Chain A
Amino acid sequence: MNAVRSREDWSWRVFDKLVAAEVTLFSYVPDYGNADIIDMAAADNRTRTVLLSSEQEGVALCAGADLVGGRGVLLMQSSGVGNVPNMLSLVQGGRFPMLMIVTMRGDYGEQNPWQYPMGRAVQPVLEAMGILCIRVERDDELDQATDAAISAAFSAGQGVALILSQKFLGAKAF
């Protein structure tokens, strides 16, 4: 129960900061790690959720929102990072602001061997596409890291990924 309560706690802090930054579209592929933020965004009348079939859609969707002055975020599990590189051409070529929140699998404490290859590749793949990676390992890093990610994306027009590690989230038990 403690794990669940603390997950809700950090999710509220991130959600509140996103709302304060006028992010209205929460696009996502479901993950245990982003489930609470998605529930919050679905329940709040200032925001709406968009269920994606594949993570790359979220990159294009956020770019589309930007064209009309809107702001979106893409929430995904680390394995989804493998689906987005080509679509991130939009960010490098078009200087679209892009904010991604990646909930990690395949790092600290992972029990599923299928998660490790992509878990290890997340940061190199994103960095190869010019995305700034801001990693959170401890709860006391979260607020500052979230602020940094939001301002990099929406004030400075960068592509940025807020990477929430398994050390921070807690490894999923099977």
Chain B
Amino acid sequence: MAINLPDSTIDRRAVLPELFPDPENYLLLSGLAGAAKDTAAWTREAENLLTLGGAMGGAVSMGLGMALAAPGQQVAVITGDGELLMNIGALATVASAAPDNLTIVCIDNGQHGETGGQPGHTSRRTDLAKMAEGAGFASVMTVSAPGDLAAASRFIAESVAPRFLWARVMPGPPSAYKRNWDLAECRLRFRNSFSDRRTDGHR
């Protein structure tokens, strides 16, 4: 089948800063590979971020667990198309649980960037917005041009959750960032920071 890469003009490295002007107001969880690098570079690996380096297919569910266990907090999951598709049924799980504090952003480059750029399903026929709608998400939006990102930021701030943003991006490298690979250390850091955050009454 012919490869049909996303007809996008967005540089993935510009996506997150535009979508989230106030990342400190979120609990952030990223899927592995490019999404993790982009998220880590954007926040300089802030304490309200946990990035995955494996457990492919787990990001959406992990974000759901955070959202359900911390109902007063806004949770955002940043993940790639391959990571999302590995466990696409998790979208139905989220829609069914219907958390009012969960945002999913899929940075879709149409390929498996980490393993050499092999084409993925979204470069062929798969429409992730329709899949999220079909799963039952309350709000779904697609962007493929830099000029759409301001509206997408409002979508994240204002639309009814759970919400799904399909950010189609150009093929190209994620942000360069050397992050902490010690998950046990990252877990403790996140938990301690969250505990302080609650004590401070930070929202």
Which A residues touch B126, using CB under 8 A? none
Q: Is B23 an interface residue (CB 8 A)?
A: no
Scoring B59, B65, B190 by chain A CB atoms within 10 A of each residue's CB, the highest score goes to: B65
Chain B: minimal CB distance from A47 (Å): 11
Chain B: minimal CB distance from A108 (Å): 31
Scoring A53, A71, A95 by chain B CB atoms within 10 A of each residue's CB, the highest score goes to: A53
Tell me the B48-105 residues at the A interface (CB within 8 Å): 50, 54-70, 73, 87, 89-90, 92-93, 96-97
Tell me the B176-194 residues at the A interface (CB within 8 Å): 183-184, 186-187, 190-191, 194
Which A residues touch B27, using CB under 8 A? 67-68
Tell me the A89-136 residues at the B interface (CB within 8 Å): 89-90, 93-96
Tally of B interface residues using CB under 8 Å: 37
Q: Determine chain B's interface SS by DSSP, over half rule.
A: helix
Q: Determine chain A's interface SS by DSSP, over half rule.
A: helix
Q: A87, B58: Cβ atoms under 8 Å?
A: yes
In Å, the complex CA distance between A70 and B97 comes to 17
Which A residues touch B25, using CB under 8 A? none
Chain A, residue nearest B63 (CB): A64
Q: A24, B61: Cβ atoms under 8 Å?
A: no
Q: B68, A48: Cβ atoms under 8 Å?
A: yes
Q: B93, A60: Cβ atoms under 8 Å?
A: no
Q: A94, B61: Cβ atoms under 8 Å?
A: no
Chain B: minimal CB distance from A37 (Å): 18
Contact with B along A60-87 (1 / 0, CB 8 A): 1111111111111000000000000011
Contacting residue for A69 out of B59, B61, B191, CB 8 A? B191
- Write the residues of chain B forming the contact surface with A, with a CB cutoff of 8 angstroms: 27, 29, 50, 54-70, 73, 87, 89-90, 92-93, 96-97, 183-184, 186-187, 190-191, 194-195, 198
- Write the residues of chain A forming the contact surface with B, with a CB cutoff of 8 angstroms: 24-25, 48, 50-54, 56-72, 86-87, 89-90, 93-96
12 CB < 8 A contacts A-B? A53-B89, A56-B87, A60-B57, A66-B187, A67-B29, A69-B194, A69-B195, A71-B69, A90-B55, A90-B58, A94-B186, A95-B187
